[in-house]
Amino acid sequence: MDSPEVRATTPTGRPSMATILSGLRRLRSTSFNLVKVLRANPLTLIGFVVVLFISVTAFLVAVVPPVSQTFLGHPVSIAPYDPNALLPCPVIGNSTVCAQPPSATHLFGTDRSGRDVFSRVLVALPLDLAIGFAVAGFSLLLGGGLGLVAGFWDRPWTIGGVVSLTIMRVTDVFLAFPSLVLALAIAATLGRGTIPCVLAILLTWWPYYVRLTRGEVLAVKHQPYVVAARSAGVSEGRILFRHVFRNILEPLVVYFTMDVGTVLVVFSTISFIGIGVPPEVPEWGNMVSAYGDYLLLFPWMVIFPGLAIFVTVLAFSLLGDGLRDILDPRSRRALTQAVVPATSIAMSSSRTEA
């Protein structure tokens, strides 16, 4: 009689229909549980929808122009106007007024040079989002990798212990300085520009992931299943990735999701101070800095870029907070039970009494 492994594949080596149906059932069950959790936590659902909308919009803003240039011969943008184009300014009396308030023609109004604020906010979205993901992702890989080494091989009087001690002491040196102040100092030293600003944040961001990862590894590596795997002769590398890393992935994913918004705030702060991206590059913090002097006269020029930062950071924070409940089995079970209608409970109790 064939074993389950043999029956799971066809003679050609491809997965059998039963295997495919089983995978589809698991996917359907996971999706159903995810929907129930999102229904039980409306703020997480809002954060998920807003992050999805922001990500899709940023993708379209970045991809549509080069794709249209390739297939149509001329670029097409989803932004209504060129973000740096000086639009015709209306003449009111004997003076030309370029700063127009929000209207049907210009949703976010125009600035003092006649540029469309909505187009500039929209075009700045891919840059800010890419920087947030890039800095947080690189910090996760570097800091997470160093934290795994520092936590798993933290044994006194061994080479691993020396390496762990060295990693933690270097991490403590970086953590001794406030991250924003250190990033500002490095950015000012490297000079104004997008790449120097990103490098400045990268150099100050990874130590937090080292501390987080090392603490989670120390809490997991002495668990009974890790001790049992080591007693069974499983290699250290397999224990690290199969038993330790998989069990610390939840807090790392949650922290990464919330960290994207934090990186965005820091990058916008550096641009706001004036040592970030060049003035001609559309960027939310740069726009708030350039239009800050006209807050009382033309408030829409400052409000909409600031509102874009606020909504993006809030969406990622809500999504990260909800991921903590979704990835934690106990919280997920409690939220899933919370969406059970009260009528169902009453019906079940009446049936029991009958």
Residue 255 Cα distances to 243, 258, 306, 323, angstroms:
20, 5, 24, 10
Burial of residue 134 (number of CB atoms within 10 Å: 0-12, 13-18, 19+): middle
Mean pLDDT is lowest, of 7-16, 66-75, 136-145, 217-226, for 7-16
Please tell me which residue, 310 or 155, carries the higher pLDDT value: 310
Decide: 129 and 55 in contact? Cβ < 8 Å: yes
CA distance 220 to 224: 9
CA distance 127 to 16: 45
**For 128-148, what is the mean pLDDT?**
92
247-269 per-position pLDDT tens digit: 888 889 889 998 998 999 998 88
**Over 90: is that where the pLDDT of 43 sits?**
no
Q: Are strands 91-92 and 95-96 parallel, antiparallel or unpaired?
A: antiparallel
CATH topology for 125-323? MetI-like fold (1.10.3720)
Assigned token pair, 317: 């924070």
pLDDT of residue 21: 74
Q: Considering only CA atoms, which of 123, 140, 129 is closest in space to residue 85? A: 123
Total residues found in the chain within this entry: 354
pLDDT of residue 223: 86
**Over 60: is that where the pLDDT of 187 sits?**
yes
**Total-model pTM:** 0.80
**Over 60: is that where the pLDDT of 274 sits?**
yes
Query: Domain locations in the chain?
Result: 62-116, 125-323
